[in-house]
Structure 1
Amino acid sequence: MRFASLTTPTGREPVLILPTPEGDRVLRLGHLAGDVAAILADPDLRERARRAGAEADAADLPRLDPTALAAPVVPGKILCLGYNYRGHVPDGADPTADDPAFPDVFVKTADTLAGPNEAVRIPRAATDVDYEGELAIVIGRTARDVALADALDHVGGYTILNDVSERAWQRRQSQWALGKCSDGFAPLGPWIVTPDEVGDPQDLLVEVERDGVTTVSQSTATTVFSVAFVIHHLSQVMTLHPGDVVTTGTPQKLPAAQAVHRPLADGDAVTVRISRIGALTTRFVAASAPDDSEVAA
């Protein structure tokens, strides 16, 4: 199943996205729960949503208006990993030789969340904004002290997050918060795909396209820490709640893309594609000039 959130005149509404040969259709689920996280957390609601989707005549449902999509969940916390993909190594070398013992974890704050159609505003103080296309885990069951063997049972689904980063601010300190937490620096979506449709999360192709050029292409099979390990590891020190988002790091840019990389600028667009999940396109816009009240302050 593909769960999404629509922006309506009365607020956000959970929906099921049903693919058809004529395009995606929308089945409204507001009668089941107030948001997608509540449906993911309740086995009965998930089953009712599944039955509703199976019984619906998709041809009679309204077409999806992609511009109406909001972030599929509003997470209580967004936890992210750094340096989780192995890089290219010479033939015959051990690709695991430089693996860290534990994942490098950081937090993106609430104001970083953006929907799949929101443009990211480049802060006036920014000089080196970059993108990171990542597989995002959406927690479906409360997880605390979860055994590795049981970790995937706590996944509600998977989506895509662009971990937008300001490298200059990130390099100014050992902690990354100021480089990762500008407003809107976590576009999320377009929907959440349930684990039964995604299959093995360690067998997904992550690709990033910037202005029509593929800059990243790597399988989640090359991550150091699996989805299951990440959930197990985090749950040893904090409770993961339904709707929380955990991202799994970004692959390295392809050598040709690294050679010509430039900071993101007004008008740029970045698309993150992950097999069996979908695509998330983010547009970037320049910050507006300060108004008189800001200048006076």
Structure 2
Amino acid sequence: MKFVTVKDQSGEFIGVVDESGTRVLPLKKAWEEIENTPFPDTMLQAIDLGDEFIEKVHKLMEKVNIDSFLSLDQYTILAPIPTPRKNIYCVGKNYAKHAIEMGSKEDIPEHPIIFTKSPTTVVGCGAEVLNHQQVTSELDYEGELAVIIGKKGRGISREDALDYVFGYTILNDVTARDLQAQHKQYFIGKSLDTTCPMGPWIVHSSEIEKPHNLNIETKINGEVRQSSNTENFIFPIEEIIHVLSKGMTLEPGDIIATGTPEGVGKGFKPPRFLKSGDVMTVTIEQIGTLTNTIS
């Protein structure tokens, strides 16, 4: 199941998208037509419900007909979680070839590198990403698989880690490389407004049996820049969740970006940074395509 957050003139709602990716069922409205019980208004509320939410959706899907689905084109697609409760967790240099292109073989990490992006960075599929030319001249792209945590946990074992995953989405960790270098850490260069496009939807974990075998591709203006597979992770999802949760509680709705493969703009000689009008598309197998344009 693909879960999406959209809006129109009447407001925002969450929906489930059909197999074609072109039609959406407004979940709360459909539920209220068949049941006189509460239903979550937002994606975070839905994730908080865990298995109960999934059970309700399954029940709903058995009772609705195709006419209940509406054209997705008539809505604005937001990020699946438009306003995260806290910073997005990000893993740096999680593909060996990316670590090398950003430095050398000595830069391949022995332990996960973790940084975060501010919630104010988040925008949806189709949204413009500000060029921020007043503060950076080195804006770069990073296509990534993102993990959405589905239940609360601390001290999560590697063996149990995937049981804590609600689903998967696509994230573009847009980065100001000059700010990243200037401040000697990642936060400011990673946290400019609109620099975390995410979506177009969350695919439930039950739909993706092998998250470590997904093709991932980033194009800029139709040109392939990044092409890899999540089997090339240095640190698999289980390890990332285990490390993050050792002494820190992970909560429903937490977002973890799992790192980007080689082919970022800074890795070219000379570098190929983003400019106004550039169209970024990140495609991940079994999930979909995230498209955004630089303003």
1:64 aligns with 2:72: yes
Instruction: Write the distance in 1 (CA, Å) between the matches of 2:75 and 2:247.
Output: 38
Question: Are the structure 2 counterparts of residues 66 and 250 from structure 1 closer, same or farther at C-alpha, using a change threshold of 3 Å?
Answer: farther
- Within the candidate set 41, 49, 54, 2:57 is matched to 49
Q: Which residue of 2 aligns with 1:25?
A: 23
Which position in structure 2 is the counterpart of 1:92?
none
Deviating more after overlay: 258-267 vs 224-233: 258-267
SS, match of residue 270 in structure 1: strand
Q: CA–CA distance in 2 between the matches of 1:205 and 1:88?
A: 16
Measured in 1, the distance between the counterparts of 2:281 and 2:24 equals: 23
Query: 8 Å contact 1:18–1:58 — kept in the other structure?
Result: no
Aligned residue pairs: how many?
Answer: 276
Deviates more, 1:49-58 or 1:160-169: 49-58
Tell whether 2:247 aligns with 1:240. Answer: no
Structure 2 unmatched ranges of 5 or more: 33-38, 100-104
Distance of aligned partners of 1:160 and 1:254 in 2 relative to their CA distance in 1, 3 Å threshold:
closer
Give me the TM-score of the superposition, normalised by structure 1. Answer: 0.87
Q: How does 1:83-102 map to 2 (within 5 A)?
A: 83-87=93-97, 99-102=108-111
Instruction: Say if 1:66 and 1:117 are closer, same or farther in 2 by CA, change over 3 A.
Output: farther
User: Within the alignment, does 1:130 sit opposite 2:140 as a pair?
Assistant: yes
Deviates more, 1:167-176 or 1:264-273: 167-176
* TM-superposition CA deviations, 1:134-175 (whole Å, max 9, x none): 000011111211111111011000000100000011111321
Asked if 1 retains the 8 angstrom alpha-carbon contact of 2:149 and 2:167, the reply is yes
Secondary structure at the aligned position of 1:148 is classed as: coil
CA distance 1:133–1:51, change in 2 (3 Å): same
Distance in 1 (alpha carbons) for counterparts of 2:227 and 2:150: 28
Answer whether contact 1:142 1:242 (CA < 8 A) is retained: yes
Aligned letter for 1:57? N
Query: Separation in 1 of the partners of 2:281 and 2:185?
Result: 28
SS at match of 2:218: strand
> How many percent of aligned residue pairs carry the same amino acid?
35
Structure 2 Cα separation of the partners of residues 260 and 12 of structure 1: 43
Deviation above 3 Å: which 4+ runs of structure 1?
Answer: 8-11, 96-99
Decide whether aligned partners of structure 1 residues 262 and 88 sit closer, same or farther in structure 2, where only a CA change above 3 A counts: closer
Cα separation, 2, equivalents of 1:228 and 1:207? 22
8 Å CA contact 1:140–1:241 kept in 2: the answer is yes
Q: Confirm whether residue 184 of structure 1 aligns to residue 194 of structure 2.
A: yes
Is the 1:67–1:117 contact (alpha carbons within 8 Å) kept by the matching residues of 2? no
What secondary structure sits across from 1:171 in the alignment? helix
RMSD: 2.2
What is the TM-score with the length of structure 2 in the denominator? 0.87
Counterpart-to-counterpart distance in 1, 2:272 and 2:53: 46
Task: Give the conservation status (yes or no) of the 8 Å contact 2:125–2:198.
Answer: yes
Task: Structure 1: state its 5+ residue gaps.
Answer: 90-95, 286-297
Cα displacement (A) at 1:237: 2.7
Shift of 1:212: 0.8
Deviation at 1:88, TM superposition (A): 8.6
